[in-house]
Each structure stands twice: as structure tokens, then as C-alpha cells.
Amino acid sequence: MSKIEAQHVDFHYGSFHALKDINMSIKEHEVVAFIGPSGCGKSTFLRLFNRMNDLIPDTRLDGQITIDGQNIYDRSVNVDELRKNVGMVFQRPNPFPKSIYENVAYGLRVNGIKDEAFIAEMVEESLRGAALWDEVKDKLKKSAYALSGGQQQRLCIARAMAVSPSVLLMDEPASALDPISTAKVEELIHEIKKDYTIIIVTHNMQQATRVSDKTAFFYLGQLIEYDNTNKIFTNPSKEETQNYITGRFG
């Protein structure tokens, strides 16, 4: 059974038809990469999975998205519970202006956990999980802004992991990072995929080939092709995909 299922998803920003009849199913512990030119709708689609687009006024969604068999746009769904289960890492590192420790603890605290020992345990576990523990264990009380950009992004990943989500959405998580930090983040994705279902939006096709099991190519609001990453990059079945990836590689 698939972890995430999107059926006939249409999405409008006002009168702009941003996503057109998208169907997709993602299995548990899979890493799926969304690629496509800017404005193709890949980020919009990603933000539907944790209902982040709810924040934008004057939008409309048709079709259905289910996670673990539950329609996440059903009225009985608590958006904050959904977002706890579906973590998100953003394009630019966006730590809070708090200490490293408090950044990771934030999600636990807002979800009503008061047990400090448990929080401390989870903070350490998440920072270890994000391969950041050794670098920051002596300065947990320091401001998160004292970290480098790459460390900040891994902190944001740790922060997302701390609330024990089962899905992680990553919106171009390495686009603002230098190559070394990018490599670290990619390595991290490899390590954590056993625990999470990961969807990653990326502009960088090498990155897609390096980290993902499956790749979805979006173009002008449509899902053109969705297949194993290997197949997409070696033998795409659609001409648009071929054009896009060769254009970029060439």
C-alpha cells in the first residue's frame, strides 16, 4: 500500500491554474525527487502535502491527497497534527533566533510536551540523526545564527525530525548552500531514508540522481513523467523530459 497518494489534484491561485490533474503514489521509505523548470508547480505540489498552501489566500484545491489512507484535506483533520507528521525543510535555512537547543525543542514544546528529560533526549537524538551533534554538542545554548549556512540547514532538518514525522518534505534544501554543505545534506538524506518517506524538490538534476529512488518531472503545472530515477535520466519515455534533462546536462 502506498504511503502517499494524490488523485486528480488541481490547484488554483486565484484564476491561475497552477496544477493540472496530478496523480501520484509514493511508497513508504521512498525518496522522491520533483524536478522541472521554475514555476512548473513542483513546489506548490510539495506544499500541498502539509497544507502549507492553506496560508495563501484565494487558492482552491480539487482532487484528493491521502497520507496513510487518510484524506488530509478532510474536515476532521487537525492541520497542526498533520504538520507534525509531515515535516518540512525549506529552501533557505530558517532557524529561529533562539539557541540551538531551543530550535530543536520548539516542535516538541508547541506540541505540548513538558517533560524536560524527554525533550533533552529527543534533541540529542535529532541532532545525531542530522549528523550535527558532534559539531554543536558543546554550544547547545549558543544562538543558532552562530552556525554556518550548511549547519543551519542541518539544524532545520534536525528540528523537523524532532517531532518524529513519518514524511519529510524538502523544498530545494541545498539551493542556498555551498558544495561541501550540499554534499553533507545529501549524505544525510541517504542515511535517514530508512526512517522517513522523503520528497525533495530540486533544481539540480545531479542531486536528484544522487539522492532519489524515483523522480517526477513537472512542466507547466502538469506531471509529465514519474518513474524510477534511473529510467528518467537514462531513458525517459516522454520527449519533454528528454529535452529538459539533456538541456540541463548539455
Partner 1 sequence: MKKVFEKIISGIITCSGFLTSVVILLIVVFLFSEGLGLFSQKTIEEGYTLVVNKSNPVEELNAKQIKEVFDEDVTNWEEVGGKPEPIMVFRFEDMQKYFSEEELGPNYENATACINSLVEKNPGIVAFVPEEFAGGDGFCGKRLKDHTISAGEVFGGNEWFPTATPAAQFGFMPLILGTVWVTVFAILFALPFGLSVAIYMSEVSSARMRAILKPVIELLNGIPSVVYGFFGLIVVVPLLQDVFGLPVGESGLAGAIVLAIMALPTIITVSQDAMQNCPRSQREASLALGASKWQTIYKVVMPYSISGITSAVVLGIGRAFGETMAVLMVTGNAAVIPLSITDPLRTIPATIAAELGEAPAGGPHYQSLFLLGVVLFFITLIINSSVEYISSKNK
Partner 2 sequence: MDNKNISVNNHARKMLAQNVAFTTFRILSGVIVTILFIILAFIIIKGASVLNWDFITTPPTDGMKGGGIWPAIVGTFYLMVGSALFAFPLGIMSGIYMNEYASHGKIVKFIRMMTNNLAGIPSIVFGLFGMSLFVNFFGFGDSILAGSLTLGLLALPLVIRTTEEALKAIPNSFREGSLALGATKLQTIWHVILPMGMPNIITGLILALGRVSGETAPILFTCAAYFLPQLPESVFDQCMALPYHLYVLATSGTDMDKQIPIAYGTALVLVIIILFVNLLANALRNYFQNKLKTN
Give which of 63, 83, 93, 88 is closest to 199, Cα–Cα: 88
Out of 57, 69, 97, 112, the residue judged to bind partner 2 by CB under 8 A = 112
Q: Tell me if 213 sits within 8 A of 230, measured CB to CB.
A: no
Q: Tell me if 163 sits within 8 A of 111, measured CB to CB.
A: yes
* Distance in Å, CB of 111 to partner 2, minimum: 6
Out of 56, 110, 146, 180, the residue judged to bind partner 2 by CB under 8 A = 110
Out of 20, 64, 96, 175, the residue judged to bind partner 1 by CB under 8 A = 96
Inter-CA distances, 44 with 66, 113, 184, 233, Å = 16, 31, 26, 23
Inter-CA distances, 24 with 110, 122, 161, 184, 223, Å = 32, 33, 24, 29, 9
Torsion of CA 173, 70, 164, 105, to 10 degrees: 80
Closer of 159 and 184 to partner 1 (Cβ): 159
* Distance in Å, CB of 84 to partner 2, minimum: 8
250 binds partner 2 (CB under 8 A): no
19 binds partner 1 (CB under 8 A): no
Give which of 193, 237, 156, 144 is closest to 3, Cα–Cα: 193
* Distance in Å, CB of 162 to partner 2, minimum: 15
Segment interacting with partner 2 (CB under 8 A) among 107-115, 117-125, 132-140, 183-191: 107-115
1 binds partner 1 (CB under 8 A): no
100 binds partner 1 (CB under 8 A): no
How many CA within 13 A on the CB side of residue 208? 28
Contact positions toward partner 1, by CB under 8 A?
Answer: 50, 52, 55, 57, 80-81, 83-84, 87-88, 90, 92, 94-98, 106-107, 109-111, 156, 159-160, 163
